[in-house]
Amino acid sequence: MPATVVITTSRTHRLRWWALAVLTLGLFMASLDNTILNVALPTLARELQASTDQLQWTVDAYQVTYAGLLLVAGGLVDRWGRSRTFLAGTAIFGGFSLIAGLVSTTGLLISARALMGVGAALLAPSTLALISSLFSNPKERTVAFALWSGANGAGGAVGPVLSGLLLEHFGWGSVFLINVPVAVVIVVLGFFVLPHSRPHPVAGGVDYLGAVLSTTALALICWAVISAPGLGVTNPLVLAAMLGGLGVLGAFVYWESRVAVPLLRLSLFKIRTFSVAVGVAGLVTAAGAGALFVLTQYLQFILDFTPMQTGIRVLPVAAAMLVGALSAPRFIHHLQLKRTVLVGLSCVGLGYGWLATTTDNSAFAHLVPGLLLFGVGAGLLVPAATQAVMDALPPDATGGGSATNTALMQVGSALGVAVIGSLLAARYRGVLTAGAIWDELGDLQSTALESVAGAVRAAEQLSSDLGAQLNHLAERGFVAGMEASLWVCAFSVGLAVVCVLFLYPSDRHR
């Protein structure tokens, strides 16, 4: 038996970089689907006649199940085994990607996206837990975390580019079908290069009630935020959903403090480094998801770029994030974690501030400095925050702790799209209803309020002069909403800077 253990350990060590490649490819794929749909949103608005609310749900359905089930997935990592959970999640993700690529209605697409989130929830925490166990050497560990973070960030940044390329030659379903062969490759290679040790025995069962409570709370809150611009903030359904979501969230926290084997280990938040790091990551992720939701539509609706042209113009973000991620180990070595986090946050905040000055007369060149600042800052920030999270965790909490970290980032993404998208919708609808031509639209008012694509459809049924006025008014309303949204993103990052400055311990005290 000892000889077998030595051989297995030696083989695992020898294949660790191959294993890292498989794990980062899986994370890249899951991260890709956080953003690959953004460039396709105007296409969905035109071909499926999806409203702004429905567009938000095509993005958030994935985010809600991804975030809501990540914590229970963290518990399954420790019970099923890290490699087994990763491969199962990849298979589920690929299977429902196939279904998402073949459906023909918005409702079915939203459902398939939600089930893709289940697969992503299983594979994501497994990657970080496996990397943490495969790399114990401090220098290799820092590089591995940087590559993991780079794959996570690059997936999100490459998504719009790949989406544009696919939409140039194929239908919108191709943005999901592309996942299928990638998932097959990951499962096949992963079976050979990942360590397949037996899972550690864990006392107690899985906290399924906690999973139901957390997912329900997030879904209700997101629904209330997304529906508020259309139904009204004081609408009884909106108020009931928000209060219900907050009530369920309170029940979740209470249950987690009482259950024997909690889904969310509240004691982890007593570790200041951990709690501040995951909070900052959540704020920044929320701002990033919301900004991307807005900017990809701006490039197509306002600047009239095709999906392919839009994807290419988001490419500088991917390049900047890669530069930032690859530079992160050097920054961490020379500046240490806290200063690296502050540098990253400052770049991201300045980027949002620059982008918020965009008008309906701005050319794409105006966006470039802001996009580059955001990309470099995010590339620096994520590896530093991730290492801070994992270094703060005790050995027996790497699965649950990494799941908590990733879950709060996904919660941030879901709420970011919900809040920023709803702010955009509210300002857009406000500008349209205040316009001088509003009363002349008649029965086309509801169509125009759906989105800019809806306004274009309505304009086609009006006289040329009135249609041109409606198109101009819709563009002005969208840009007004985008400006307000990006300033909110900048404010969120500023709040994160304050948290790090005053709450994050200096490196010599950690």
pLDDT single digits (tens) 168-191: 888 888 989 999 999 999 999 988
Output the CA–CA distances (angstroms, integers) from residue 67 to 297, 388, 406, in the order listed.
24, 21, 8
How is residue 84 written in tokens? 């087994």
Answer yes or no: is pLDDT of 1 > 50: no
- Domain membership flag for residue 364: yes
Output the CA–CA distances (angstroms, integers) from residue 225 to 68, 234, 489, in the order listed.
17, 12, 16
Same domain, 289 and 182: yes
Q: pLDDT: is 60 or 253 the higher one?
A: 253
Please tell me the least confidently modeled range out of 179-183, 367-371, 397-401, 498-502: 397-401
Q: Mean pLDDT, to the nearest integer, of 77-86?
A: 79
- Angle of helix 106-134 relative to helix 52-80, nearest 10 degrees? 40
Answer yes or no: is pLDDT of 144 > 90: no
Average pLDDT along the chain: 82
Same domain, 13 and 72: yes
Range of the domain at 325: 2-198+263-437+471-505
Give the torsion sign (CA, 371, 26, 226, 418): negative
For 82, residues 6+ apart whose C-beta sits below 8 A from its C-beta are 126, 129, 130, 133, 195, 199, 399
What are the φ/ψ torsions at residue 205 (nearest 5 degrees)?
-100, 180
How far apart (Å, rounded) are the C-alpha atoms in residues 152 and 382? 9
Give the torsion sign (CA, 500, 505, 507, 510): negative
How far apart (Å, rounded) are the C-alpha atoms in residues 355 and 351? 6
Same domain, 297 and 410: yes
Q: For residue 439, what pLDDT is reported?
A: 85
Q: pLDDT: is 320 or 12 the higher one?
A: 320
The conformation of residue 198, written as its DSSP 8-state character, comes to: P
Q: What is the pLDDT of residues 431-486, one digit of tens each?
A: 888 888 888 888 888 888 877 877 888 888 888 888 888 888 888 888 898 899 99
Q: For residue 8, what pLDDT is reported?
A: 45
Q: What is the pTM of this model?
A: 0.74
Answer yes or no: is pLDDT of 251 > 90: yes
Q: Is 160 exposed, middle or buried (0-12, 13-18, 19+ CB in 10 A)?
A: buried
**Which residue type, as a one-letter code, is found at position 232?**
G
Same domain, 90 and 226: no
Q: For residue 46, what pLDDT is reported?
A: 78
Total number of domains constituting the chain: 2
CATH number of 41's domain? 1.20.1250.20
How far apart (Å, rounded) are the C-alpha atoms in residues 488 and 152? 24
- Domain membership flag for residue 451: no
Position of tokens 């994935």? 62
Query: Of all residues in the chain, what percent carry a pLDDT higher than 70?
Result: 91
How far apart (Å, rounded) are the C-alpha atoms in residues 150 and 106? 32
Same domain, 173 and 245: no
Q: For residue 3, what pLDDT is reported?
A: 39
Closest CA to 183 of 238, 103, 122: 122
How is residue 97 written in tokens? 């990607």
Q: For residue 462, what pLDDT is reported?
A: 83
Q: For residue 7, what pLDDT is reported?
A: 38
Output the CA–CA distances (angstroms, integers) from residue 299 to 42, 62, 146, 198, in the order listed.
10, 24, 31, 50
